[in-house]
Amino acid sequence: MARATLTISSKNYSSWCLRGWLMCKWVGLDFDEQVVSADDPSVRAELLLQSSSIRVPTLTHNGIPIWDTLAIGEYLNELYPKAGLLPSEPAARARCRSICGEMHSGFAALRSALPVNLKSTKPNFVVWSAAQADIDWILKNIWHECFARWKGPYLFGESLTMADAMYAPVCTRFRTYCVKLDPEAAAYCGRIMNLPTMVEWIEAAMLEPEEMPELDAEF
């Protein structure tokens, strides 16, 4: 029996659950999933960005609950340092923590205007200016700077890190809302979306019966 349980909500709508789940998978943690319905008022508030506290996902390991996604990543890195969630080189590690923190606390316009919705495709979606500014910042000041310094194929080189998990939902947003990308960014999104773990998550999301009309609406 797994010694760990990851409590998650909707695989279709929850960006934070995807991040935590990916990191658990990438380090090879043996864990069970416990799913909280999106109909739960507190979970629904989180998904609709109406809650200041994000308590899902929660990783419970050896009786220890860890409920913030960054905290989950740091905890997993302590347990499995060889998995490389944080780069070994100090400058890369500092940069990785910085851009993970930036995703954790920023890009409010992107989050609200382009909510995660894996089942949906919106080819004629118009990105308003504040959300476009977030997109431009991510592409220029985060992704392309990482590619230039650490040479890809992922943000910090050959290995997947916490940063790739943190920005994986951005890749899904770009696909859902048909955001135009330069070739380098498009190739990175393609690599992330085709990871076996991402494919597994998305296939499960497609089978979810729950719907949130607030996130399925045409903007």
Residue 31 lies in a domain: yes
Q: How many domains does the chain have?
A: 2
Question: Is 53 domain-assigned?
Answer: yes
Could you tell me the pTM of the whole model?
A: 0.92
Q: What span, in angstroms and rounded, lies between the C-alpha atoms of 30 and 76?
A: 12
Which pLDDT tens digit goes with each residue over 107-141? Answer: 999 999 999 999 999 999 999 999 999 999 999 99
- With a cut of 60, say whether residue 151 has pLDDT above it: yes
pLDDT digits (tens, 9 = 90+) for 190-208: 999 999 999 999 999 999 8
Whether 75 and 43 map to the same domain: the answer is yes
**Strand arrangement, sheet containing 4-8:** 31-35, 4-8, 58-61, 64-66
Neighbour-count burial of 48, counting CB atoms closer than 10 A to its CB (0-12 exposed, 13-18 middle, 19+ buried): middle
In this structure, of 45-54, 90-99, 142-151, the range with the lowest mean pLDDT score is 45-54
CA 176: distance to chain centroid?
Answer: 14
Mark whether 121 and 197 lie in a shared domain: yes
Domain membership of residue 182 as a residue range: 90-201
As a whole number of angstroms, the distance between CA 146 and CA 157 comes to 8
The angle at the Cα of 72, spanning 71 to 77, to the nearest 5 degrees, equals: 95
Q: What is the pLDDT of residue 3?
A: 85
Residue 27 is assigned to a structural domain of this protein:
yes
208 within some domain: no
